[in-house]
Chains A and B, each alone.
Chain A
Amino acid sequence: MEDIKNISRRAFVFGSAAIAGGIAFGSYGDAAMAATATNGNPLAAELGPNSVTFNPWVEISPDKITLIAQHADIGQGVGSAQPILIAEEMDLDPGQFEVRFAGPSPAYFNTGFANENAPFLSADHSPAAEAARADALEALRKSGLQMTGGSSSIPDTYEKLRIAGAVARETLKAAAAKRSGVALADISTQSGHVILPNGTKIPYVELAAEAARIAPVLDAKPRDPSKWRMVGKPMMRLDVRSKVMGELKFGIDKKMAGMMYAAVKLNPNKGQPLKSYEAGKAQSMPGVKKILKLKNGVAVIATNSWYAMKAVDAIQCVWAPSTYPAEQAGHWKVLEGSFKPQFLGKEWRKVGDIEAGLKQGTLFKAEYRAPYVGHQPLEPLNGLAIVSDSGMEIWVGHQSPQAVQSIAAAAIGLKPEQVTFHNQWTGGSFGHRLEFENIRVLAEIANQMRGTPIKLVFSREQDFLQDIPRQIAIARHRGSVDKGKIVAADLQLASTAPLKGLLERMGAPSKDPDPQLAAGLWNVYYDLPHFRATSYEAQGLSPSTTWRSVGASTAGFFTESFIDELIHAAGLDPLKARIAMCSVPTYRKVLETVAEMSNWNGPLGNGKGRGVAFVESFGTPTAEVIEITMTDRGVRIDKVWVAVDVGKVVDPVNLESQVQGGVVWGLGHAMNCQLTYAKGAVQQTNYNHHEAMRIYQCPVIEVRALENDPKVRGIGEPPVPPAAPALANAIFAATGKRIREMPFNKFIDFV
């Protein structure tokens, strides 16, 4: 295969996205800043007296400093990392500021999506690729899209929050210089104070009014990393203590005077309406105040969530049937029939002459499958809302603030700007809180109960039944091996389209092929003479959405298992061959690191096996080695080694947590989770049917983060995709048995 620059140019040439002439920015970081500066500051509108805001992330009043966490905190720690990035530059210490989540505003558009939105491989840093990213960034700025996802929280904010902090610091210093008549160069800052040469310390809050009257110092530069006090060093996440003490209020804990509780029963045939219902019994159950008809179901209003859930259970509903196949077998059948030109998503990448390459040496074919799976964060979907004649106010944890406004408004005939949204701490998401099943019905309920604050909590069973699942997919891969080498790999998959589905439900439908179906499929960095990656988009199946690591969660399993098959067929060592074939030096280093960490060449005991997988997703190359033991009770996963390259580590402790959690997520669902449809509804409605990993199955997970990538990368999702193929590859190494379908417990037992 060609070197990385040529690969990407080729992808660009073959790509369908039209790229206008590039904008000449000095660097991507500069472009991000230039774009960010132009979208206004929503804090200015609600500023109190004698207060100042320098940009959308910093607000100082006479009595407190507030730093804005731009993204939704879904457990990944942005409620800590983002304020810390600002505090680092402002010389603030933890405890000297409050943290608030951003409200809906185009000022908070996500610059971090530019990388994924440009049709270039992440490892490509050519001028053409950077120009395309600059264009993608400009398109993002114009759209004002504020969303948490795509492992973009740190890539989006790493530069802009440090600059925001630097601007605040330098402007406060300028205000102090003006007040004291001292030269700016002689003024410094420390621990929330401006320090004058004579030792006088002025608290920032005392300078708020004066700072508001001078022009902000917009050309302030963030400090060199060598000067950092907190960033990059082990630190205490700001939310740890309040979570341990049980004091942190999640969305579900939010209360209001006069509040009533709501529970719902919604049509499990997703997207379809209620036909009729019989609520006679529920009317007279304890605590019940009211029964409401909704577009796609019924709600009970009661004095306690449990009363509401019990009563709604007792309501008999007749549902409109699903538009997708009622039975699971029908879903697989549609997928099997989707490898046809009329369902072509896109041929994402073509190298060499694939058909000629497949004719060389020995041909291998394999079919892989991945089922629907649920998100099921432990905090079920919920929300608190009140509708009055002037509009709606809603308190809910969500990853798309503006979409909450538009979806809620559309449900009850309001304008989006009439919906006031307050983001909440969430008990996990994994992609669940990008969808709107709770938002729409809460708006309907609160609208029917005008003037009364309504707290909606989904029962776990409703949450499962309404969960828009991860995509379902089949891969049909072909490859050839000749003279101890892989000659060709032709990777094809048919899948439901998760990102396109989400965009459509957000009211921004796209006609382009779903780029998430290329993730883990086209971004293969092995030097193969003949290569092709093609996606087909199945029609008429269950709606699907983004699930932690999205497309790469299925395609990464297919690709890295099949590459492993070809490597074995060529008689090569799985890790040494990957290192030898890897065409990106920094990625090769990731593979070499995991080889060293896991002592790959070291001896293995009886009944043991090691497997490796390498996937780049969202720009973050991740290699994992898994060691297992075959016991008489099944497979025991002993240890996992993970090497990643994120360019720059912001919080090393949290990074390790995110990686460990991603591995647990990837392994647990690969082992034992699927959602299957029967009579139009999913059959798994609680954790006993969709268990994932519990502590007794959890291996030791060792993590090393490298900083060789030229860009700052995210870590929330990339550890997920390599987990399943590394486990399947380890099972093959230990047993000779190749598992080509998730969940693996259909084919092998786990301890």
Chain B
Amino acid sequence: MIELTVNGIKRQVDVVPEMPLLWVLRDELGITSPKYGCGVAQCGACTVHIDGKAVRSCQSRIGEVAGKSVVTIEGLENRDQNPVLQAWIDHQVPQCGYCQTGQIMQAISLLERASKPTDELIDQVMSGNLCRCGTYPRIRAAIHAAAAMKMAEK
């Protein structure tokens, strides 16, 4: 049994330690917001937070996540007031929406490091997150809007 904390709740799973966190979340724990897109850290659809950092859950072996705290979009604190989620809604970023939970988890992490990111920094940090529908212009706009909302809150 491997023990970890997911969205604030202690969970135990009986899988091989090599299994990527993504497949533990999706198939063992039924948490479906992290998406399978590529399996090789090329698309970012599986991005979650481990101990507060954005990581690709398809590359995180569950054996190495043991004892750590995993947060998916379902488990964000004050989700309804989260400025990134709110900006994503205001700007109607999603088309098919499949990559967006990963985009959002990456963007939250970006805004924790840089309160007012430039387009260049956004491009740099967000380029690991692929969107086949081409929502990039709205992702940029939503990140700027979320940054402004966070500033206004302070």
Seen from chain A, the residues whose Cβ lies within 8 Å of a Cβ on chain B are 73-77, 236-237, 239-241, 243-250, 252-253, 255, 261, 286-287, 303-307, 309, 376-380, 425-428, 430, 457, 459-460, 653-654, 657-658, 660-665, 668, 686-688, 691-696, 698, 700-701
Write out the residue numbers on chain B whose beta carbons fall within 8 Å of the beta carbon of A698: 134, 136-137, 140
Q: Which residues in A have their C-beta under 8 angstroms from that of B37?
A: 378-380, 460, 687
Q: How far is the CB of A629 from chain B (nearest CB, A)?
A: 15
B61 to chain A, nearest CB (A): 11
Shortest C-beta distance, A690 to chain B (Å), equals 10
How many Å lie between the Cα of A428 and that of B97 in the bound state?
A: 8
Q: How far is the CA of A76 from the CA of B135 in the complex (A)?
A: 12
Of A309, A427, A687, A692, the contact of B96 (CB 8 Å cutoff): A427
| B92 x A236 contact (CB < 8 A) | yes
Are A246 and B130 interface neighbours, CB within 8 A? no
Select which of A248, A255, A304, A376 is within 8 A of B19 by beta carbon.
A304
Select A304's contact among B15, B42, B93, beta carbons within 8 Å: B15
* Docked-complex contact A457 and B36, CB < 8 angstroms: yes
- Contact between A460 and B38, CB atoms less than 8 A apart: yes
- The contact size tier of chain B is 35 or more
Least CB separation from B34: chain A residue: A246
Nearest A residue (CB) for B27 = A304
Q: Which residues in A have their C-beta under 8 angstroms from that of B15?
A: 286-287, 304
B58 (CB) vs chain A CBs: closest residue: A306
The residues of A that contact B85 with a CB separation of less than 8 Å are: 244-245
The residue on A at minimum CB distance from B20 is: A306
Contact check, A246 vs B132: say whether CB atoms are below 8 A apart.
Answer: no
CB distance from A28 to the nearest CB of B (A): 29
Contact of A426 among B72, B73, B96 (CB under 8 A): B96
B88: chain A residues within 8 A (beta carbon): 244
What 8 A-B pairs come out closest when comparing CB atoms? A427-B98, A664-B134, A75-B96, A246-B33, A243-B97, A661-B134, A306-B23, A696-B123
A695 to B104, CA, bound (A): 14
A395 to chain B, nearest CB (A): 14
Q: A76: which B residues are within 8 A, CB to CB? A: 95
Q: What mask results when residues 117 to 154 of chain B are scored 1 for a CB within 8 Å of chain A, else 0? A: 00000111011011111111111100000000000000
Q: Which residues of B contact A460 (CB under 8 A)?
A: 37-40
Extra contacts besides A250-B35, A695-B127 (10): CB < 8 Å: A75-B95, A75-B97, A240-B93, A246-B32, A261-B27, A304-B23, A306-B27, A660-B136, A692-B130, A692-B132
Q: In this complex, what residue of B is CB-closest to A688? A: B42
Residues of A within 8 A of B39 (CB): 309, 459-460, 686
| Cα–Cα, bound, A188→B8 (Å) | 51
In the complex, A286→B32 CA distance in Å?
Answer: 22
Are the CB atoms of A379 and B93 closer together than 8 Å?
no
Do A660 and B137 contact each other (CB < 8 Å), given the known contacts A237-B92, A244-B88, A654-B92? yes
A686 surroundings in chain B (CB, below 8 A):
38-40, 42
A657 touches B42 (CB 8 A): no
CB pair A74 B137 closer than 8 Å: no
Do A241 and B96 touch across chains, with their CB atoms under 8 A apart?
no
A149 to chain B, nearest CB (A): 16
Q: Which of A240, A244, A303, A306 has the most CB of B within 10 A?
A: A244
How far, in Å, is B104 (CB) from chain A's closest CB? 7
A660 close to B134 (CB less than 8 A): yes
Considering only CB atoms, which chain B residue lies closest to A696 in the complex?
Answer: B123
Known: A74-B96, A252-B36, A377-B98. A661 touches B89 (CB 8 A): no
- B127 / chain A contacts, CB cutoff of 8 Å: 694-696
- Say how far A685's CB is from chain B's closest CB, in angstroms: 10
Let me know if B99 and A378 touch, CB within 8 A. Answer: yes
